[in-house]
């Protein structure tokens, strides 16, 4: 049977947003029925529930020119009377090694048969309700070059759903997803599992570092959906460090080179006098699979305050340094087997020379502001940085045993009324270590 529904999403001006999650709902009433089949797909991911029960995750990976949909017998999930289809839809807004996202979109068609000659089709259209699911934070880094953005879920926001009629983007066969056909591999299954054992409770050092994770590729190419290492990630960060008294700061940088008061600084302690100092960090890992760069000020002293060099009233004390002239973006399918393409190599050399000149020129806040006159961009924090929780694990430092702070740790292991109670500590964070028993 041909899919005749519509591609829908939340109504908005841009359908290529990074890491967006929506929830789409449709309620309907059924009398007697004999069989029901749902055809469903999405760009880039869906999770399907019917009457509160999980049904499927999908779709299968496919090229946009030959896109696939899932065919699911959902007879056992429906009931006489009121029914609800609820779909969590995700658009990555960035390429992976498994999908080529084009734009946000969700497509579904439910065909219901009965003993009578009549049949019923429920398709995605503007009678569906859609809401942005803000509990899934959008500004997270990619898991890796091969995968989608990290999933960061804030359950405190899960009730904040503002449903509105869906926006119809196009009919089933009129969008960028062509040659729609059923998936050619089996549907995914789901197997519930529990922790197999509790191992230990640790007290872990609480980090007071200022950690900045910068989505360099997206800031350099704000409207581009790319997946490989064929883009130039040109750009940088700039701020003013205001010291109330002489102090030492220590930092670590990944994919960035830092200049303070016009001097290139290696990762390590830097002693500075009281007063204002310029700080810029330019991307120097310009090509590669790591699309986010990181700058960490390690336990900065209380006497240091950061101020936006272009607008001291800005909530975000950092500004982005743009290099639109170095906006090279090549073909994702091309691999560099014998050196860089000539246009990319030329732009790379010119960019590295330029940032060195600018870094040296920014000798103080006044000259920094002149450097930023044409290149500086003031962005909100949530646009300029992503929430990376993984760095805390990488810097994890156990400082003691926390067994006395945990009551009934086995309570978390099973789906029952048992609870685990964790008492906070002023000395650090409490870490619970459980064993899943196997890797699947």
Residue 337: Cβ-neighbour burial (10 angstroms; 0-12, 13-18, 19+) = exposed
149 within 8 A of 19, measured Cβ to Cβ: yes
How many domains does one find in the chain? 3
Whether 235 maps to a domain, the answer reads yes
Per-residue model confidence as pLDDT tens digits over 3-28: 889 999 999 999 999 999 999 999 99
Q: Which residue in the block uniquely carries the two structure tokens 């949909």?
A: 69
The answer to whether residues 233 and 332 belong to one domain is: yes
Closest CA to 261 of 235, 294, 246, 239: 239
Which residues, other chains included, contact 308 with Cβ-Cβ below 8 Å and sequence gap of 6+? 239, 240, 314, 316, 317, 318, 319, 378
Band (pLDDT 50/70/90 cuts) for residue 344 is: confident
**d(Cα 306, Cα 240) in Å, to the nearest integer?**
6
264: number of Cβ within 10 Å: 12
For residue range 254-301, list pLDDT tens digits in order. 999 999 999 999 877 999 999 999 999 999 999 888 999 999 999 999
165 and 255 both lie in a single domain = no
Q: What is the DSSP string of 6-70?
A: EEEE---S-S--TTEEEEEEEEEEE-S-SEEEEEEEEESEEEEEETTEEEEEE-----GGG-EEE
β-pair type (275-283, 293-297):
unpaired
What does the pLDDT look like over 380-433, one tens digit per residue?
999 999 999 889 999 999 999 999 999 999 999 998 999 999 999 999 999 999
Cβ neighbours for 182, distance < 8 A, ≥ 6 positions apart? 39, 68, 69, 70, 71
Q: What is the pLDDT of residues 358-387, one digit of tens each?
A: 999 999 999 999 999 999 999 999 999 999
User: How far does the chain reach from its first CA to its final CA, in angstroms?
Assistant: 35
Indicate whether 295 and 264 sit together in one domain: yes
pLDDT at 334 over 70: no
Q: Of all helices (H) and strands (E), which one includes residue 370?
A: helix 365-371
Say which residues have a Cβ less than 8 Å from residue 147's Cβ, sequence separation at least 6: 96, 97, 98
Q: Give CA–CA dist 31/114, Å, rounded.
A: 9
Would residue 190 count as lying in a domain? Answer: no
What pLDDT was estimated at residue 2? Answer: 80
**404 phi and psi, to 5 degrees?**
-70, -15
Query: Residue 113 in 3-state DSSP?
Result: strand
pLDDT at 140 over 90: yes
* pLDDT for 338: 58
Q: Does residue 335 register a pLDDT over 70?
A: no
pLDDT at 329: 85
pTM: 0.91
Q: Kindly report the CATH number assigned to the domain that includes residue 100.
A: 2.60.120.260
- Same domain (yes/no): 379, 406: no
**Residue 380 domain-assigned (yes or no):** yes
Beta pairing class for 81-91 and 421-422: unpaired
Residue 231 CA, distance from chain mean position: 19
Helices (H), 160-255: 216-220
Average pLDDT over residues 73-92: 98
Query: Is residue 440 in some structural domain?
Result: no
| Residue of higher predicted confidence among 440 and 357 | 357
Give yes or no: residues 131 and 243 share one domain.
Answer: no
Q: Where residue 336 falls among pLDDT bands split at 50, 70, 90?
A: low
Question: Would 188 be classed as within a structural domain?
Answer: no
Query: Are 421 and 364 in a shared domain?
Result: no
Q: Is residue 171 part of a domain?
A: yes
Residue 258 structural domain: 210-387
**Average pLDDT over every residue of 329-340:** 69
- Report the C-alpha gap between 140 and 153 in whole angstroms: 11
Length of the chain: 440
* DSSP per residue, 252-300: EEESEEEEETTEEE-SSEEEE-SEEEEEEEEE---SSS---EEEEE-S-
Digit-coded pLDDT (tens) for 217-257: 999 998 889 888 888 999 999 999 999 999 999 999 999 99
Task: Give yes or no: residues 228 and 371 share one domain.
Answer: yes
């Amino acid at each position: 049977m041909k899919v005749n529904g519509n591609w829908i999403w939340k109504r908005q001006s841009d359908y290529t947003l990074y890491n967006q999650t929506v929830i789409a709902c449709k309620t309907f009433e059924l009398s007697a029925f004999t069989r029901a089949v749902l055809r469903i797909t999405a760009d880039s991911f869906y999770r399907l529930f019917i009457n509160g029960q999980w049904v499927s995750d999908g779709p299968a990976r496919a090229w946009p020119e030959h896109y696939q949909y899932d065919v699911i017998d959902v007879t056992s999930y429906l009931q006489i009377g009121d029914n609800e289809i609820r779909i969590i839809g995700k658009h990555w807004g960035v390429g992976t090694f498994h999908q080529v996202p084009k734009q946000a979109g969700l497509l579904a068609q439910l065909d219901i048969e009965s003993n009578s000659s009549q049949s019923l089709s429920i398709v995605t259209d503007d009678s569906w309700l859609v809401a942005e699911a803000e509990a899934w934070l959008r500004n997270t880094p990619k898991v890796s070059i091969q995968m989608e953005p990290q999933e960061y879920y804030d359950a405190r926001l899960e009730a904040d759903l503002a449903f509105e009629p869906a926006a119809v983007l196009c009919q089933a066969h009129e969008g960028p997803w062509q040659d729609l056909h059923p998936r050619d591999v089996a549907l995914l299954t789901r197997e519930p599992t529990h922790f197999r054992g509790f191992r230990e409770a640790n007290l872990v050092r609480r980090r007071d570092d200022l950690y900045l994770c910068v989505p360099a590729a997206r800031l350099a190419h704000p409207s581009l959906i790319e997946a490989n290492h064929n883009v130039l990630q040109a750009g940088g960060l700039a701020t003013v460090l205001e010291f109330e008294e002489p102090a030492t700061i220590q930092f670590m940088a990944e994919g960035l080179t830092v200049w303070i008061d016009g001097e290139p600084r290696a990762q390590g302690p830097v002693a500075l006098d009281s007063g204002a100092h310029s700080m810029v960090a330019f991307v120097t890992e310009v090509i590669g699979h790591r699309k986010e760069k990181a700058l960490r000020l390690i336990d900065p002293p209380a006497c240091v305050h950061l101020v936006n060099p272009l607008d001291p009233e800005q909530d975000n004390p950092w500004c982005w340094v743009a290099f639109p002239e170095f906006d090279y973006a090549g073909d994702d399918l091309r691999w560099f087997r014998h050196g860089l393409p000539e246009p990319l190599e030329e732009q790379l050399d010119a960019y590295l020379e330029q940032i060195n000149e600018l870094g040296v020129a920014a000798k103080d806040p006044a000259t920094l502001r002149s450097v930023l006159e044409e290149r500086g961009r003031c962005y909100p924090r949530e646009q300029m940085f992503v929430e990376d929780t993984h760095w805390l694990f990488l810097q994890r430092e156990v400082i003691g045993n926390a067994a006395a702070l945990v009551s009934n740790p086995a309570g978390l292991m099973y789906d029952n009324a048992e609870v685990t109670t964790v008492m906070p500590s002023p000395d650090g964070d409490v870490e619970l270590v459980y064993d899943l028993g196997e890797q699947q």
